[in-house]
Amino acid sequence: MTCDLEMTAPGYKRDPFSIMDEACSLAPDAPVFGLFSGGHDSFVSSHLASQHPRFVGIVHVNTGIGIELSRVFVREMCRMFGWPLYEYKATELPTPQIYEEIVMKYGFPGPSQHSTMYSLLKERCLRRLKGDYARRRDIVLITGIRKQESVKRMGYAREIDKRGQWGWTAPTVDWSEEDCRSYMNAYNLPRNPVKDKLCISGECLCGAFARPGERLEIREHFPEIDDRLTRLEKCAVNTPCPKWGSGGPSYEKLQERKGQTSMFMPLCVGCGL
């Protein structure tokens, strides 16, 4: 298979299907899942993943603190394209993780607490995928990670990263935002209204990497989410950090500390893929 769409990204090197094929060669017989957060980058990579012979379905991690409209978008797109959807909710058993309870105990997270939020709200969901579907088998996960986005926050962007039984694969790693837009137009992929309004997928609003002005945008377009956060702030007034989006030092400061940019958290690269 090849992708016929001409790529425009500077330094574009490989056809996305070649990247996925290589990842699958490292994990014989491993099923291929697309990771779809609701953002456009992950929509494009999921659409590519769906064309691979080993494609099994789409995985959506529901943190319990995102915008429901974005989750509805994921579900509707999976129905439209006939993709099996595996939605894992952080709030479900066997070890439910409730964002409000975490905040009431520790305060709202900042960049320095992001790895903890990632582990509790996202990584545990993937472990359930492993237990429910593959158990001892390898799994190839197709992500929408792009170099132009990932270096802004997590510094992670590789075509293939095989870690144990997990094969993380980014077929669009060298694509530009324009490349993704062109692909969506070429294949008539609908756009997520949440992404268009907030510039993020809205799947996770833990606030660890909230950018300046993000809360104002949430208040304007999704006032019910702002109301929820406001109520939680009033309850969390006596916690170490009682305000959403203001927990701890800025990410720029954290980058100066050894090891912060080497953390492997591909589900949160860009916090809006």
Give 88's strand partners.
Answer: 61
Whether 261 has a pLDDT exceeding 60, the answer reads no
Residue 243 pLDDT level (bands cut at 50, 70, 90): very high
CA nearest to 16, candidates 124, 148, 142: 142
Q: What is the pTM of this model?
A: 0.89
Q: Which residue has the higher pLDDT, 191 or 115?
A: 191
Q: Write down the pLDDT at residue 20.
A: 97
For the chain, the average pLDDT equals 87
Q: Are 242 and 107 in contact (CB under 8 A)?
A: yes
Q: What share of the chain has pLDDT > 90, as a percent?
A: 70
DSSP annotation of 1 reads: -
DSSP strands (E only) in the chain? 32-35, 55-62, 85-89, 139-142, 160-163, 166-169
CA end-to-end span of the chain: 25
For 95-143, the pLDDT digits (tens) are: 899 999 999 999 999 988 889 999 999 999 999 998 887 666 899 999 9
Q: Write down the pLDDT at residue 260.
A: 46
Q: Are 55 and 194 in contact (CB under 8 A)?
A: no
| Residue 94 preceded by cis peptide, ω within 30 | yes
The rounded distance, in Å, linking the Cα atoms of 12 and 183 is 15
Whether 251 has a pLDDT exceeding 90, the answer reads no
The rounded distance, in Å, linking the Cα atoms of 129 and 79 is 20
Q: Which residue has the higher pLDDT, 33 or 11?
A: 33
Gyration radius from the chain CA atoms: 18
Write out the two tokens for 183.
């692909």
Mean pLDDT (whole number) for 57-64 = 97
Across 126-140, b (16+ Cβ under 10 Å) vs e yields bebbeeeebeeebbb
Backbone CA torsion sign across 69, 139, 175, 6: negative
CA nearest to 175, candidates 146, 139, 133, 132: 146
What domains are defined for the chain? Answer: 16-107+115-193 (3.40.50.620)
The rounded distance, in Å, linking the Cα atoms of 95 and 37 is 22
Q: Are 197 and 57 in contact (CB under 8 A)?
A: no
